Chains A and B, each alone.
Chain A
Amino acid sequence: MQEIIENKITESNGVATEEMILNMGPQHPSTHGVLRLELLLEGEIIKKVTPHIGYLHRCFEKHAEAMTYPQVVPYVDRMDYLASMGNEFGYVVAVEKLLDIKVPERVEYIRVIMAELQRIASHLVALGTYGADIGAMTPFLFCFRDREKILHLFEITCGARLLYNYMWVGGLSHDLHPDFIRLTKEFIQYFRPKVVELNELLTNNKIFIERTANIGILPVDVAINYGVSGPMLRGSGFKWDIRRNDPYSIYDRFDFDIPVGQGLMGTVGDSWDRYYVRVLEMEESLKIIEQAIEQIPEGNVSEAIPKRIKPPVGEVYARIENPRGELGYYIISDGTTNPFRVKVRPPSFVNLAVMDELCRGHMVADVIAILGSVDIVLGEVDR
């Protein structure tokens, strides 16, 4: 750390120029939370970026060891707080794998619907805040307006808008609200034109393209070496989606595409591609929700919830496709009611590591554009 604190002074033609260190964050409007980026600048050109994390560290993993298995669920909500349903999904899939139990069909369908709605909500925040980072405030509010509809669906289902504690090991806390199916169908009807609106307002805006195309190019080999996943990896043109490549739950039953970056406006793997992959993914999620709503069977959502969860000694790794990438849970059981160890593989944390690689040679304003396209949630980075 010490070597970058020292300013390098270079002299040419008798003029001494000094590199500047700029602290971006933790109190900065565009770092998406309490992230601190230490930028080493030469003029406005980035020489090096060092992300400093830990401002939101809550000891989740250690904390989980003191809880029983069901008690951990509300805590995983608080990791990626924009995609709580996804976090719960991953955790319950892991524990169910450990317990080797099968959940009713209806539960699987509801989980998929919730996870995909959550993906749309999460991507809406990502796209909206990205627009706001670039300077377009209006798409931000449009996105939040649409996200509100999804939060309303969650609210009528389980009473909470952000941190749900909805998916339990072996089942769900509540069955669907009688109006849920109708409202979801209405939402799909409502939302499809809104994606077109977003594309007209922001995606294909000349200035937006200028700001994002060819900025922060992530070649696919670098992406794989860094372990990047989710829309970032797909933005680099690599077709990898856990829902398709390692299907969990009932994702193998649905028909959907996996959009990848194609370099439509610049190079494959630039910020615009990452952005656009998210836009397309929202459409795919809508497709999945439509199919799931058609096929959803009747049933009891809480019949398989075990009275007491005491898995056999062993370990399990389960991964799901969260809106931000591959979310993995590695759980070790020592045969008691508390997990011996819960290790999370957070997509945001892994994706953030590639910041320095992406930012070098760009300008200060581009750091914002790149960070927005990486789409981190600090709750998950720090846990």
Chain B
Amino acid sequence: MIYDFLFELTGSEFLAGLIQSLLPLFLFILPFALFAVWWERKISAHMQDRLGPMRVGWHGWLQTIADILKLLQKEDIVPRDVDKPLFNLAPVLVFMGSYAVFAAIPFSGAFIGSNIDLGLFYIVAVSGIVVASILMAGWASNNKYSLLGAMRSAAQIISYEIPTMIVVVTIVMITGTLNLYTLSEMQTGYFWNWMIFGGPGFGVDKFLFIPLMIIAFFILYISTLAEVNRTPFDIPEAESELVAGYHTEYSGMKFAMFFLAEYANMFAVSAIVSAVFFGGYQSPFGYLGNTLGIEWLIPIEQFFWFTAKGLFFIFVQMWLRWTLPRLRVDQLMALCWKYLIPISFVNLLIVGLITVL
């Protein structure tokens, strides 16, 4: 574990903990967000018969950095009638909420922010901060569009946490753990050990689990799409209806914080989906490090697989975004309450029965 290494290096528990918790931010989230924004622009452009950013760097890969520099230089506009403390606090909180999620996500076997036993539970709980800060932003902006966006967002995220939680409980019933690290370790070996293929072991129940797990995966994926406000569920920030929803009034770096949080969230939910159903950081074909006998290669390979899976799910998110129209807010709720929750409950019951028997 990286913590032991840091502890040896610094000789202080506090410093080791601090550095360990900051590593995901600087090593991963910030570069990732920069990359993902560019990636999304390129993907959307190619889907739409365009080129996208081409001028700044090779195929425009420096575009986001240029944008960030622009945003940093911008005047920090605080409208006159806003609730100043809340208005200033909201972008910080929203970023904190989405960053805190990364603490429990295992990036590789050797690199996890905090190996807590309630990992999955913690993630669902902490992402609630995002809702609170979105509401805060919408309310403090003193703008009707922002308020509508924030109210929709709160309603949406809270509703979609229910199917998410039920799916999580389903998984817990099978594996008996909420710890994402343990969960990932359980799915080691080859890809048929992944939860989507019924988990490790080769009993009868494995094959019974496969269809149920596929249903559970779809429910979880749809719910997480809704939780990160992506199309077809981007109703809170529907740019053609509510202009930009809760962050209409934000500019400069505060806006960038919302933007960054959105992309960090995208990766967080993709990571959860891959950790729960697709073996997390586990390689689908075994490790090169094992074959070659190079011990230190394995964590790097794991990190590679983890990123690849995360990026794949993000690609699917972007693909959906640039293909589908947007649902209306009541249709969104109907989808959640009429379909996802009942189906996930039935799924939970059947999985429970199989596990008991």
B331 touches A210 (CB 8 A): yes
List residues 34-71 of chain A with CB under 8 A from any CB of chain B.
44
CB contacts (< 8 Å) of B240 on chain A: these are: 29-30, 132-135, 368
Q: A135-B240, A363-B329 are in contact. List 9 more A-B contacts (CB 8 A).
A: A20-B144, A22-B144, A22-B145, A136-B325, A207-B325, A208-B325, A363-B330, A366-B328, A368-B241
Please, which residue of chain B has its CB at the minimum distance from the CB of A368? Answer: B241
Q: A131 near B: Cβ within 8 Å?
A: yes
Q: A22-B144, A141-B50, A365-B241 are in contact. Are A136 and B324 (CB under 8 A)?
A: yes
- Partner of B327 from the list A20, A137, A207 (CB cut-off 8 Å) is A207
The 26 sampled A-B contact pairs (Cβ below 8 Å) are A20-B144, A22-B144, A29-B240, A30-B241, A44-B148, A132-B240, A135-B231, A135-B324, A135-B325, A136-B323, A136-B324, A136-B325, A138-B322, A138-B323, A141-B49, A141-B50, A142-B49, A205-B325, A207-B326, A210-B327, A210-B331, A211-B326, A211-B327, A211-B328, A363-B329, A363-B330
Q: Whole-angstrom distance from the CB of A247 to the nearest CB of chain B?
A: 38
Q: A28 near B: Cβ within 8 Å?
A: yes
Give the size of the chain B interface in residues (CB under 8 angstroms). Answer: 27
Q: A364 near B: Cβ within 8 Å?
A: yes
Docked complex Cα distance between A201 and B48 (Å): 12
Docked complex Cα distance between A217 and B322 (Å): 28
CB contacts (< 8 Å) of B232 on chain A: these are: 135, 207
A202 touches B148 (CB 8 A): no
Most buried by B among A133, A134, A201: A134
Please, which residue of chain B has its CB at the minimum distance from the CB of A207? Answer: B325
CB contacts (< 8 Å) of A202 on chain B: these are: 325
B50 touches A131 (CB 8 A): no
* Prevailing SS type, chain A contact patch: helix
Q: Whole-angstrom distance from the CB of B245 to the nearest CB of chain A?
A: 12
Docked complex Cα distance between A60 and B323 (Å): 41
A137 touches B329 (CB 8 A): no
Q: A177 near B: Cβ within 8 Å?
A: no
Most buried by A among B234, B238, B243: B238
A205 touches B48 (CB 8 A): no
Q: Whole-angstrom distance from the CB of A352 to the nearest CB of chain B?
A: 19
Instruction: Report A's interface with B, CB cutoff 8 A.
Output: 20, 22, 28-30, 44, 131-138, 141-142, 145, 201-202, 205, 207-208, 210-211, 363-366, 368
A28 touches B328 (CB 8 A): no
The 0/1 profile, CB within 8 Å of A marked 1, for residues 311-346 of chain B is 000000000001111111111000000000000000
List residues 54-112 of chain B with CB under 8 A from any CB of chain A.
none
CB contacts (< 8 Å) of B8 on chain A: these are: none
- Partner of B239 from the list A29, A44, A366 (CB cut-off 8 Å) is A29
Docked complex Cα distance between A132 and B241 (Å): 10
CB contacts (< 8 Å) of B18 on chain A: these are: none
A141 touches B48 (CB 8 A): yes
Docked complex Cα distance between A348 and B47 (Å): 33
Q: B44 near A: Cβ within 8 Å?
A: yes
A135 touches B329 (CB 8 A): no
Docked complex Cα distance between A134 and B145 (Å): 17
CB contacts (< 8 Å) of A131 on chain B: these are: 325
Most buried by B among A22, A133, A137, A208: A137
Docked complex Cα distance between A135 and B322 (Å): 9
Docked complex Cα distance between A210 and B334 (Å): 12
Most buried by B among A138, A202, A205, A211: A138
Q: A20-B144, A29-B240, A364-B241 are in contact. Are A137 and B322 (CB under 8 A)?
A: yes
Q: Whole-angstrom distance from the CB of A210 to the nearest CB of chain B?
A: 6
Docked complex Cα distance between A201 and B49 (Å): 14
CB contacts (< 8 Å) of B327 on chain A: these are: 207, 210-211
The 0/1 profile, CB within 8 Å of A marked 1, for residues 20-50 of chain B is 0000000000000000000000001001111
Please, which residue of chain B has its CB at the minimum distance from the CB of A362? Answer: B328
CB contacts (< 8 Å) of A205 on chain B: these are: 324-325
- Partner of B48 from the list A134, A138, A365, A366 (CB cut-off 8 Å) is A138
CB contacts (< 8 Å) of B325 on chain A: these are: 131, 134-136, 202, 205, 207-208, 211
Query: What are the nearest 3 A-B pairs in CB distance?
Result: A135-B326, A141-B48, A136-B325
CB contacts (< 8 Å) of B148 on chain A: these are: 22, 44, 364
Most buried by A among B145, B239, B240, B322: B240
The 0/1 profile, CB within 8 Å of A marked 1, for residues 143-179 of chain B is 0110010000000000000000000000000000000
Docked complex Cα distance between A322 and B232 (Å): 34
CB contacts (< 8 Å) of B241 on chain A: these are: 30, 364-365, 368
Q: Whole-angstrom distance from the CB of B59 to the nearest CB of chain A?
A: 19
Please, which residue of chain B has its CB at the minimum distance from the CB of A202? Answer: B325
Q: Whole-angstrom distance from the CB of A237 to the nearest CB of chain B?
A: 25
CB contacts (< 8 Å) of B48 on chain A: these are: 137-138, 141-142
Please, which residue of chain A has its CB at the minimum distance from the CB of B152? Answer: A44
Please, which residue of chain B has its CB at the minimum distance from the CB of A30? Answer: B240
List residues 128-148 of chain B with CB under 8 A from any CB of chain A.
144-145, 148
CB contacts (< 8 Å) of A22 on chain B: these are: 144-145, 148
Most buried by A among B49, B328, B330: B328
B329 touches A44 (CB 8 A): yes
Please, which residue of chain A has its CB at the minimum distance from the CB of B323? Answer: A138
Please, which residue of chain A has its CB at the minimum distance from the CB of B244? Answer: A29
Q: Whole-angstrom distance from the CB of B349 to the nearest CB of chain A?
A: 28
Docked complex Cα distance between A133 and B328 (Å): 12
CB contacts (< 8 Å) of A136 on chain B: these are: 323-326
Please, which residue of chain B has its CB at the minimum distance from the CB of A137? Answer: B322
Q: Whole-angstrom distance from the CB of B318 to the nearest CB of chain A?
A: 12
Docked complex Cα distance between A41 and B47 (Å): 37
Docked complex Cα distance between A202 and B325 (Å): 8
CB contacts (< 8 Å) of B322 on chain A: these are: 137-138
Docked complex Cα distance between A365 and B240 (Å): 9
Please, which residue of chain B has its CB at the minimum distance from the CB of A215? Answer: B328
Docked complex Cα distance between A208 and B331 (Å): 12
CB contacts (< 8 Å) of B331 on chain A: these are: 210-211
Most buried by B among A142, A205, A210: A210
CB contacts (< 8 Å) of A135 on chain B: these are: 231-232, 234, 238, 240, 324-326
Q: A142-B49, A365-B329 are in contact. Are A28 and B243 (CB under 8 A)?
A: yes
The 0/1 profile, CB within 8 Å of A marked 1, for residues 227-251 of chain B is 0000110110011110100000000
A138 touches B144 (CB 8 A): no
Docked complex Cα distance between A366 and B331 (Å): 12
Please, which residue of chain B has its CB at the minimum distance from the CB of A212? Answer: B325
Please, which residue of chain B has its CB at the minimum distance from the CB of A22? Answer: B144
Most buried by B among A132, A141, A142, A202: A141
